[in-house]
Chains A and B, each alone.
Chain A
Amino acid sequence: MTAGDRNSARQAMERVMGSDRVSNDVAGHRIADATPEVVVFPESVEELRLLMAEANQSGLAVAPWGGGTRTELGNAISRLDVVADLSRLNSLIEHNPADLTCTVQAGIQVAALQGVLAKQGQFLAVDPPLPGRATIGGTLATGVTGPLKSQLDHPRDLVIGMKVVQADGNLVKSGGQVVKNVTGYDMARLHIGGLGTLGVIAEVSFKLTPLPAGEATVVATFATGREALDAGLSITRSQILPLALTALDSEVNKRADLVPASDSYNLAVRLGGRPLTLKRMVAETSELARESSANTVETLDDAAAKTLWRRIADFGWDDRPAPVMAARASVLPSMVPELVESVGRSAASSDLRTAVVSHPGFGSVLIFWFAEDEGPSDDACLDALSRARDASHTAEGRMVVDRCPSGVKSQLDVWDEVGEPESIMRQMKAQYDPKRTLNPGRFVGGI
């Protein structure tokens, strides 16, 4: 891109948005290796509309930006002129405690929202890494989830309405503010996990969950990962319905300073309920862990539990030494132990060390690769990812690469194989963003 283009991107944005909405701080707003020409901070949905309409008309490529915690996600962006930073679109528009619903602007930080909801004894069952930075819009767009699983198990199931600014600047809504609704197509689904490639999420309405009357976290340690995972699966198959159930391998324990710090494999189970219910759940969870050969079983105090779950959710994304690569696999729950073992076996034969966080009840496995000394070669990285991906396919699932060196990114589709529906997905893009204004190239198959 030439200096002349740069000027035109800046001029176009300043003309429609005003110069106080436009920033030069492009270095802090890179999308993987790509640097935008300009960063724009809309302060209202109307301004976001203007931004998109102008960009679309002028042929400028736009990347929506939330808290900037997952900017490496996606295939390489093919063009980038404008980053639309939504951090100023951060209002809680409405919270109706008695209805267990709320409506927020997309740029609100997850932790800020949870803080307000907690005052009314409620929460949104969404806990992405770095909630102090991650925004609601970004969390939904990237499809990132945390250990917390509500009854409905996925953030998309909690969305009851959405307003989206389309690539052409039109504002469109779907759903509503009520918890049960089949009026019209469920358009929000396109944008949850869609990485802002079909529109920019502007406002979201959610159904909320009452905070449990009480909580307890049981941590059990095991000699092997297989035992920890087997214990986890036996708990999910019992009558216990945990708020979160996560297995951590010894590498995670070491790197995140988790309690108890040892060479062991941990299973952490977060439980919630009224007193007698909670007591029973703690007892039964502990018993099932012991039956699966746990070495130790303990119930954490509230402060320790809070720290533990924060570290688990943030693992790989916080300020500690970062992994070279990160990926998330979704497979059949019963296949989780095999996938985890297979990843461990591949790592043993390479210079990379893996750390694995898994939520076996939901078939979710997060894999992080750390370099021992200097950076590994692209070939070694590609080999590790390919093996993990093959193992995910064997487990009847798939694996998305969240982070990898750019030389590796150019050699694979980070979203994995989509198969036949890719043609429908391409048609979606052609319908909703024909000029490829939004995040061009970043999505499945270079959409």
Chain B
Amino acid sequence: MEAFVDNSSALIDELKAIVGDMYVVHEPEDLIVFEYDGSVDKALPLAVVVPASTDEVSRVVQAASKRQVPIIARGAGTGLSGGAVAEQGGIVLPLTRMTRILEVDVENRLAVVEPGLVNLDLTNHVSKHGLYYAPDPSSQKACTIGGNVAENSGGPHCLAYGVTTNHILGLEVVLADGSVQWIGGKTRETSGYDLRGILIGSEGTLAITTKVVVRLLKQPEAVKTLLAVFEEVDDASAAVSGIIGAGIVPAALEMMDRLCLQAAEASVHAGYPEGAGAVLLVEVDGLSESVEEEAAEIERVCQAYRPIEIRSATDAAERERLWAGRKGVLGALGRLAPNYYLVDGTIPRTKLVEVLAEIGRISERSGLPIANLLHAGDGNLHPSILFDERNPGETQRVLEVGGEILKLCVDVGGVLSGEHGIGLEKQQYMHLMFTEEDLAAMDKLKPAFATNGMFNPGKIFPTGASCFDGFQAGAIARTGAGAYV
């Protein structure tokens, strides 16, 4: 991308003419805040341009296309796989000025919003109508709907209600030639290939989303949260299978292991009992009768696995207290080590016991403590490798251990990412799951959308010739001191 530097001042002038001087950042010292997202990766963009409308996005894309300068669309930068890092330079395009809610159709339970709208702001806005937006990534106070669309984000409550793709009806997008198209609309079905389904989760590589039609759900009339404490993580894992096996798909089914509990206890004083080795947090919602019946069944299942204690709550404040440990745990891990590296993978739910035991062995072998928090209900693991980047060579060991865990996930029939995306973080592991033919088929979407390499280049797909040998090499090379999750 060095070649662009010569032309960059003309480009910067053109960009300023489109969005206004204020909204083009190009001095190196100002660009630093945009060189990273929530992941370990970093790269300095050529410029940051913050558009206010679809029209401005379209014109920025045209200006960049003319000079073959790539564009990296960005939401709040909370992504955990390096998706918003300008690895090959180019223009970072935060959509955070486009935050309007354009329409709320209460009757048909949908809303039309701009991509920069913060996830939780949408739910807050429509709650007066008894509605909410279901996907709730842990970063929902900060992350944007557009970012969620790019990453096909999940969250604790996607177990029963599905991930982002299950809640999006239509998208307005800007293509690489600057043209604006509607993909899908307000109805459940549209004719032709499901381009909407292809775009969601495409990590900003095919088009830039400028409007989103989302489905809204009715707020449930009742919610009940149960917290079950077990001595051993195996018992908690078995209880997870027991609950699913009993024909219950709770709204959320979360799990934390001993190390997480210690951290949470020290930090938010969650009040976990002595000897707690694992905690399950189960939430059911719906009709009040259904909530009571399912909660009773869940409690019955848990009783079979020798719980130390089971607590439950229906009122909001009390439920919030049960969730406090889970919600605070990532921050609390900072008490155990200066840095942690959060791994994301999904396995078949029935492999939980086996995989957690193996992660324990990996931890012992590597000498690196690993705290496990899991969206256990859908088998989505988040092992967090604790370390201190000041110890020479430790960062590299951490990435190797992360790779070992991902390989383990794939070996038991799982996948590389449940909800964080591939981005830069995991592109070198894609060969663990996919053949060259599989990847070539995926890569053909780019010419089909005529992206011309303009959008978020260098993401998702493995780079370099021998990606498989020493697959961590790329990630390690890019890892500098600093921002761990």
B303 at interface, CB cutoff 8 A: no
Report if A170-B187 is in contact (Cβ < 8 Å); known contacts: A99-B348, A185-B445, A421-B181.
no
For the complex, give the distance between the alpha carbons of A99 and B166 in Å.
Answer: 20
B398 at interface, CB cutoff 8 A: no
Chain A residue nearest in CB terms to B420:
A182
B349 at interface, CB cutoff 8 A: yes
Chain A residue nearest in CB terms to B152:
A182
Give the interface centre of A173, A180, A397 by most chain B CB atoms within 10 Å. Answer: A180
A310 at interface, CB cutoff 8 A: no
**In the bound complex, do residue A184 and residue B447 qualify as a contact, i.e. CB atoms below 8 Å apart?**
no
For the complex, give the distance between the alpha carbons of A372 and B112 in Å.
Answer: 44
**In the bound complex, do residue B417 and residue A143 qualify as a contact, i.e. CB atoms below 8 Å apart?**
no
A to B CB contacts below 8 Å, 27 in the list: A96-B350, A98-B241, A98-B244, A99-B349, A151-B162, A156-B194, A174-B442, A178-B348, A178-B379, A178-B415, A181-B415, A182-B151, A183-B415, A183-B426, A187-B442, A237-B107, A239-B218, A239-B287, A240-B287, A273-B289, A277-B290, A281-B287, A332-B105, A333-B107, A363-B188, A421-B183, A424-B448
For the complex, give the distance between the alpha carbons of A10 and B138 in Å.
Answer: 58
A412 at interface, CB cutoff 8 A: no
Residues of chain A lying within 8 A (CB to CB) of residue B380: 180
Residues of chain B lying within 8 A (CB to CB) of residue A17: none
A171 at interface, CB cutoff 8 A: yes
Choose, from A188-196, A224-232, A380-388, the stretch at the interface: A188-196
**In the bound complex, do residue B247 and residue A121 qualify as a contact, i.e. CB atoms below 8 Å apart?**
yes
**In the bound complex, do residue B289 and residue A277 qualify as a contact, i.e. CB atoms below 8 Å apart?**
yes
Give the interface centre of A181, A185, A193 by most chain B CB atoms within 10 Å. Answer: A185
Q: Give the residues from 395 to 445 in chain A that come closer than 8 angstroms, CB to CB, to chain B.
A: 396-398, 400, 415-422, 424-425, 427-428, 430-432, 443-444
Given contacts A182-B163, A189-B193, list 7 more A-B pairs with CB under 8 A: A174-B441, A180-B418, A241-B286, A275-B293, A425-B195, A430-B448, A444-B191
For the complex, give the distance between the alpha carbons of A328 and B289 in Å.
Answer: 36
Tell me, rounded to whole Å, the shortest Cβ–Cβ distance linking B249 to chain A: 7
**In the bound complex, do residue A166 and residue B441 qualify as a contact, i.e. CB atoms below 8 Å apart?**
yes
Give the interface centre of B152, B160, B448 by most chain A CB atoms within 10 Å. Answer: B448
**In the bound complex, do residue A189 and residue B162 qualify as a contact, i.e. CB atoms below 8 Å apart?**
no
**In the bound complex, do residue B378 and residue A178 qualify as a contact, i.e. CB atoms below 8 Å apart?**
yes
For the complex, give the distance between the alpha carbons of A101 and B160 in Å.
Answer: 14
Give the interface centre of B107, B154, B163, B441 by most chain A CB atoms within 10 Å. Answer: B441
Report if A187-B245 is in contact (Cβ < 8 Å); known contacts: A178-B415, A182-B420, A277-B293.
no
Q: Give the residues from 263 to 312 in chain A that come closer than 8 angstroms, CB to CB, to chain B.
A: 273-277, 279-281
Give the interface centre of B158, B161, B378 by most chain A CB atoms within 10 Å. Answer: B378
Q: Give the residues from 440 to 476 in chain B that come closer than 8 angstroms, CB to CB, to chain A.
A: 440-442, 444-445, 447-450, 460
Tell me, rounded to whole Å, the shortest Cβ–Cβ distance linking A240 to chain B: 8
**In the bound complex, do residue A416 and residue B378 qualify as a contact, i.e. CB atoms below 8 Å apart?**
no
Chain A residue nearest in CB terms to B160:
A151
Residues of chain B lying within 8 A (CB to CB) of residue A281: 287
Interface string of A161-184 (1 = CB under 8 A from B): 000101000111110111111111
A186 at interface, CB cutoff 8 A: yes
Tell me, rounded to whole Å, the shortest Cβ–Cβ distance linking B454 to chain A: 15
**In the bound complex, do residue A432 and residue B192 qualify as a contact, i.e. CB atoms below 8 Å apart?**
no
Q: Give the residues from 235 to 264 in chain B that come closer than 8 angstroms, CB to CB, to chain A.
A: 241, 244-245, 247-249
Tell me, rounded to whole Å, the shortest Cβ–Cβ distance linking B362 to chain A: 20
Residues of chain A lying within 8 A (CB to CB) of residue B325: none
Tell me, rounded to whole Å, the shortest Cβ–Cβ distance linking B82 to chain A: 14
Residues of chain B lying within 8 A (CB to CB) of residue A421: 181-183, 192, 195
Chain B interface size, under 10 / 10 to 19 / 20 to 34 / 35 or more: 35 or more
A3 at interface, CB cutoff 8 A: no
**In the bound complex, do residue A180 and residue B379 qualify as a contact, i.e. CB atoms below 8 Å apart?**
yes
**In the bound complex, do residue A239 and residue B221 qualify as a contact, i.e. CB atoms below 8 Å apart?**
yes
Q: Give the residues from 196 to 241 in chain B that come closer than 8 angstroms, CB to CB, to chain A.
A: 197-198, 200-202, 218, 220-221, 241
**In the bound complex, do residue B444 and residue A432 qualify as a contact, i.e. CB atoms below 8 Å apart?**
yes
Residues of chain A lying within 8 A (CB to CB) of residue B440: 172
Report if A185-B202 is in contact (Cβ < 8 Å); known contacts: A192-B194, A421-B192, A428-B448.
yes
Determine which of B221, B293, B448 lies in contact with A427 in the assembled complex, contact meaning CB atoms within 8 Å: B448
Choose, from B16-24, B56-64, B385-393, B430-438, the stretch at the interface: B430-438
How many CB-defined contacts (below 8 Å) exist between A and B? 250
Residues of chain A lying within 8 A (CB to CB) of residue B326: none
A331 at interface, CB cutoff 8 A: yes
For the complex, give the distance between the alpha carbons of A363 and B186 in Å.
Answer: 10
For the complex, give the distance between the alpha carbons of A333 and B106 in Å.
Answer: 11
Interface string of A236-271 (1 = CB under 8 A from B): 010111000000000000000000000000000000
**In the bound complex, do residue B448 and residue A330 qualify as a contact, i.e. CB atoms below 8 Å apart?**
no
A334 at interface, CB cutoff 8 A: yes
Tell me, rounded to whole Å, the shortest Cβ–Cβ distance linking A36 to chain B: 25
Residues of chain B lying within 8 A (CB to CB) of residue A363: 108, 187-188
For the complex, give the distance between the alpha carbons of A193 and B247 in Å.
Answer: 30
**In the bound complex, do residue B293 and residue A186 qualify as a contact, i.e. CB atoms below 8 Å apart?**
no
Chain B residue nearest in CB terms to A334:
B107
For the complex, give the distance between the alpha carbons of A177 and B221 in Å.
Answer: 33
Tell me, rounded to whole Å, the shortest Cβ–Cβ distance linking A203 to chain B: 13
**In the bound complex, do residue B418 and residue A333 qualify as a contact, i.e. CB atoms below 8 Å apart?**
no
**In the bound complex, do residue A427 and residue B286 qualify as a contact, i.e. CB atoms below 8 Å apart?**
no
For the complex, give the distance between the alpha carbons of A376 and B437 in Å.
Answer: 50
B71 at interface, CB cutoff 8 A: no
**In the bound complex, do residue A156 and residue B192 qualify as a contact, i.e. CB atoms below 8 Å apart?**
no
**In the bound complex, do residue B442 and residue A427 qualify as a contact, i.e. CB atoms below 8 Å apart?**
no
For the complex, give the distance between the alpha carbons of A98 and B249 in Å.
Answer: 12
Report if A96-B418 is in contact (Cβ < 8 Å); known contacts: A273-B290, A398-B191, A421-B195.
no
Chain A residue nearest in CB terms to B219:
A239
**In the bound complex, do residue A213 and residue B247 qualify as a contact, i.e. CB atoms below 8 Å apart?**
yes
**In the bound complex, do residue A210 and residue B249 qualify as a contact, i.e. CB atoms below 8 Å apart?**
yes
A92 at interface, CB cutoff 8 A: no
For the complex, give the distance between the alpha carbons of A279 and B290 in Å.
Answer: 10
A157 at interface, CB cutoff 8 A: yes
**In the bound complex, do residue B201 and residue A210 qualify as a contact, i.e. CB atoms below 8 Å apart?**
no
**In the bound complex, do residue B108 and residue A333 qualify as a contact, i.e. CB atoms below 8 Å apart?**
yes
Determine which of B108, B185, B293 lies in contact with A274 in the assembled complex, contact meaning CB atoms within 8 Å: B293
Tell me, rounded to whole Å, the shortest Cβ–Cβ distance linking B214 to chain A: 14
**In the bound complex, do residue B192 and residue A182 qualify as a contact, i.e. CB atoms below 8 Å apart?**
no
**In the bound complex, do residue A180 and residue B375 qualify as a contact, i.e. CB atoms below 8 Å apart?**
yes
For the complex, give the distance between the alpha carbons of A53 and B357 in Å.
Answer: 45
Tell me, rounded to whole Å, the shortest Cβ–Cβ distance linking B215 to chain A: 9
A371 at interface, CB cutoff 8 A: no
Residues of chain A lying within 8 A (CB to CB) of residue B460: 184-185
Residues of chain B lying within 8 A (CB to CB) of residue A280: 287, 289
Determine which of B379, B421, B434, B442 lies in contact with A182 in the assembled complex, contact meaning CB atoms within 8 Å: B421
A100 at interface, CB cutoff 8 A: yes
B279 at interface, CB cutoff 8 A: no
Residues of chain B lying within 8 A (CB to CB) of residue A143: 189
Tell me, rounded to whole Å, the shortest Cβ–Cβ distance linking B64 to chain A: 20
For the complex, give the distance between the alpha carbons of A121 and B241 in Å.
Answer: 15
**In the bound complex, do residue B194 and residue A181 qualify as a contact, i.e. CB atoms below 8 Å apart?**
no
Give the interface centre of B200, B415, B437 by most chain A CB atoms within 10 Å. Answer: B415
Residues of chain A lying within 8 A (CB to CB) of residue B154: 180, 182
For the complex, give the distance between the alpha carbons of A415 and B439 in Å.
Answer: 30
For the complex, give the distance between the alpha carbons of A151 and B220 in Å.
Answer: 13
Interface string of A149-160 (1 = CB under 8 A from B): 001111011000
A364 at interface, CB cutoff 8 A: yes
**In the bound complex, do residue B188 and residue A362 qualify as a contact, i.e. CB atoms below 8 Å apart?**
yes
B127 at interface, CB cutoff 8 A: no
For the complex, give the distance between the alpha carbons of A439 and B134 in Å.
Answer: 38
**In the bound complex, do residue B201 and residue A182 qualify as a contact, i.e. CB atoms below 8 Å apart?**
yes
**In the bound complex, do residue B415 and residue A171 qualify as a contact, i.e. CB atoms below 8 Å apart?**
no
Residues of chain A lying within 8 A (CB to CB) of residue B292: 276
**In the bound complex, do residue A420 and residue B181 qualify as a contact, i.e. CB atoms below 8 Å apart?**
yes
Residues of chain B lying within 8 A (CB to CB) of residue A156: 194, 197
**In the bound complex, do residue A178 and residue B195 qualify as a contact, i.e. CB atoms below 8 Å apart?**
no
A63 at interface, CB cutoff 8 A: no
For the complex, give the distance between the alpha carbons of A184 and B366 in Å.
Answer: 29
**In the bound complex, do residue B422 and residue A210 qualify as a contact, i.e. CB atoms below 8 Å apart?**
no
B114 at interface, CB cutoff 8 A: no
